[in-house]
């Protein structure tokens, strides 16, 4: 199994508060991704990173920011959480050059009340 | 934007029978591939199988095979000899032109009945 951890695994927060989710990998893969999963929508890409300090937006990036200061860590921040951001968040990694498949972390269930 | 379509929200199959899960895609890329992932009720996403559009033979991984039909723009997942543990949500996904991103379909919930 790919060495990917996410923290926290579960979080309940109030509308308007900032939230940061962490993804940590031990595989030294170049690419890291944040997705959200909602019923009826499959997985949708929020942001991704193709190297330290190199990030780009996905299809549902509004209200989210990311940072990657080390190869192994990719942080997703909700600056001011809203109820529409209640979701399950998955981190994924990819070596990319040796294969396009992505390997996923266990997910974080975030509830914004 | 790419569009990946899984037209079967739910599928049922008897244990030990084969089942085909449909996936169609919209692309103008000349070279591309398709992935299938499995998500059991426990929630993790598991990579199952991949095939590139120029691979001549359909990919096979154990009981999973990918029926790739480029002219129809479809890449269906075939599970042979279904087992109770195959009950899960299955997602089809296609890489972007650069290969750096994946677009997922909405998924098919497969239930294997004893």
Q: Mind spelling out the 3-state secondary structure of chain B? A: CCEEECCCCEEEEECCCCEEECCEEECCCCCCEEEEEEECCCCCCEEEEEEECCCCCCCEECCEEEEEECCCCEEEEEECCCCHHHCEEEEEEEECCCCCCEEECCCEEEEEEC
- Asked if the model's pLDDT at residue A1 lies above 60, the reply is no
CA-closest candidate to residue A41, choices A62, A19, A59, A23: A59
Distance from CA of A50 to the nearest CA of B (A): 8
Q: Which pLDDT score, from 0 to 100, does residue B54 have?
A: 82
- Asked if the model's pLDDT at residue B81 lies above 90, the reply is yes
A45 CB neighbours in chain B (<8 A) are 101-103
Residue in chain B closest to A4 (alpha carbons) equals B44
In the stretch 27-56 of chain A, residues with CB closer than 8 A to chain B read: 31, 33, 40-45, 48, 50
Q: Which pLDDT score, from 0 to 100, does residue B99 have?
A: 78
Distance from CA of B41 to the nearest CA of A (A): 12
Q: Which pLDDT score, from 0 to 100, does residue A78 have?
A: 97
Closest CB from B35, B100, B105 relative to A42:
B105
Give the percent of chain B with pLDDT over 90. Answer: 74
Q: Is A106 on the interface with B (CB under 8 A)?
A: yes
Across the range B47-65, mean pLDDT stands at 91
- Asked if the model's pLDDT at residue A20 lies above 70, the reply is yes
At residue A48, what are phi and psi to the nearest 5 degrees? -145, 165
């Amino acid at each position: 199994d790919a060495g990917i951890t996410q923290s926290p695994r579960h979080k309940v927060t109030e509308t308007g508060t900032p939230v940061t989710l962490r993804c940590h990998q031990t595989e030294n893969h170049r690419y890291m991704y944040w997705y959200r999963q909602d019923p009826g929508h499959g997985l949708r890409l929020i942001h991704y990173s193709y190297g330290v300090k190199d990030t780009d937006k996905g299809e549902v990036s509004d209200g989210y920011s990311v940072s990657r200061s080390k190869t192994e860590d990719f942080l997703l921040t909700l600056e001011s959480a809203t109820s529409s951001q209640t979701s399950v968040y998955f981190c994924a990694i990819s070596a990319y050059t040796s294969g396009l498949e992505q390997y996923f972390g266990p997910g974080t269930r975030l509830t914004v009340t | 934007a790419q569009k990946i379509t899984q037209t079967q929200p739910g599928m049922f199959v008897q244990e030990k029978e084969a089942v085909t899960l449909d996936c169609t895609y919209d692309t103008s890329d000349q070279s591309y591939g398709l992935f299938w992932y499995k998500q059991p009720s426990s929630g993790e996403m598991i990579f199952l199988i991949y095939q590139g559009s120029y691979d001549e033979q359909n990919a096979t991984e154990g009981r999973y095979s990918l029926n790739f039909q480029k002219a129809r723009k479809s890449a269906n997942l075939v599970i042979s000899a279904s087992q109770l543990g195959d009950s899960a949500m299955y997602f089809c996904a296609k890489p972007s032109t650069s290969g750096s991103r994946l677009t997922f379909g909405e998924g098919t919930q497969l239930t294997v009945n004893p």
